Chain A
Amino acid sequence: MGAYFARRALLMIPTFLGITLLVFTITRFVPGGPVDQMIMQVRMGGAGGEAGGSASGLESSVDIPEAALASLKEHYHLDKSIVHAYFLWLGDLVTLDLGKSFKYNVPVLELITSRFPVSMYFGLIGFLLAYCVCIPLGVFKAIRHTSRFDLTSSFVVFLGYSIPGWALGLLLLLLFGAELDWFPLGGFRSPNWEELSFAGRVADQLEHTFLPVLAYAAGSFATLTILMKNSLMENLGQDYVRTAFAKGLPSNKVIFVHALRNSLIPICTGLGHALGLIMAGSYLIEKVFNIDGIGYLGFSSIIDRDYAVVMGILVINTALILTGNILSDVLYVVFDPRIRFK
Chain B
Amino acid sequence: MAQQVPIVSYLRLDPAPHLSASECTSCGARYFDRRNACASCFGSDFKHVELPTDGTLRTYTIVTAGGTGIIAPFVSAIVDCGGTSVRGNVVNIEPTSEALRLGMSLTLTTYSLGRDSAGTEAVGYAFEPAT
A binds B: no
Residue numbers of A with Cβ under 8 A of B are none
Residue numbers of B with Cβ under 8 A of A are none
